[in-house]
A and B are shown apart, each in its own frame.
Chain A
Amino acid sequence: MDLNEKRVIVTGGASGIGMVLVDQLVDEGAIVGVLDIDQKALLRLGGRYSSLYCRACDVSQPDSVETAVDDFFKEFGRIDVLVNNAGIVHSALLVALGPRGIVSHDIEMWDKIISTNLSSVFYVTTQVVRRMVSQRTKGVIVNVSSISAVGNIGQSAYSAAKAGVVALTVTWAKELGTLGIRVAGIAPGFTKTDTTIGSMSETILSNWIRDTPLRRMAKPKEIADGIVFILKSDFFNGRVLEIDGGLRI
Chain B
Amino acid sequence: MENNLKRIMSDVLEIGADQINEESSMETIASWDSLKHMELMVAIEENFDIPMLSMDEIVEMTRFSAIIGILQSKKP
Residues of A whose CB lies within 8 Å of any CB of B are 133-136, 175, 178-180
Instruction: Known pairs A134-B55, A179-B39; list 11 more (Cβ under 8 Å).
Output: A133-B38, A135-B52, A136-B42, A136-B45, A136-B52, A175-B35, A178-B35, A178-B42, A179-B38, A179-B42, A180-B42
Main secondary structure of the interface of B (DSSP, over half): helix
What sequence of 0s and 1s flags, for each residue 58-72 of chain B, a beta carbon within 8 Å of any chain A beta carbon? Answer: 000000000000000
Q: Which chain B residues lie closer than 8 Å to A175 at the CB level?
A: 35
Residues of B whose CB lies within 8 Å of any CB of A are 35, 38-39, 42, 45, 52, 55
Main secondary structure of the interface of A (DSSP, over half): helix
Q: Which chain B residues lie closer than 8 Å to A135 at the CB level?
A: 52
Kindly state the separation between the CA atoms of A179 and B45 in the bound complex, as whole angstroms. Answer: 12
A sample of 14 cross-chain residue pairs with beta-carbon separation below 8 angstroms, ordered by A number, consists of: A133-B38, A134-B55, A135-B52, A136-B42, A136-B45, A136-B52, A175-B35, A178-B35, A178-B39, A178-B42, A179-B38, A179-B39, A179-B42, A180-B42
Kindly state the separation between the CA atoms of A48 and B67 in the bound complex, as whole angstroms. Answer: 51
**Closest 6 pairs (CB-CB, A-B):** A178-B39, A179-B42, A136-B52, A175-B35, A179-B38, A136-B42
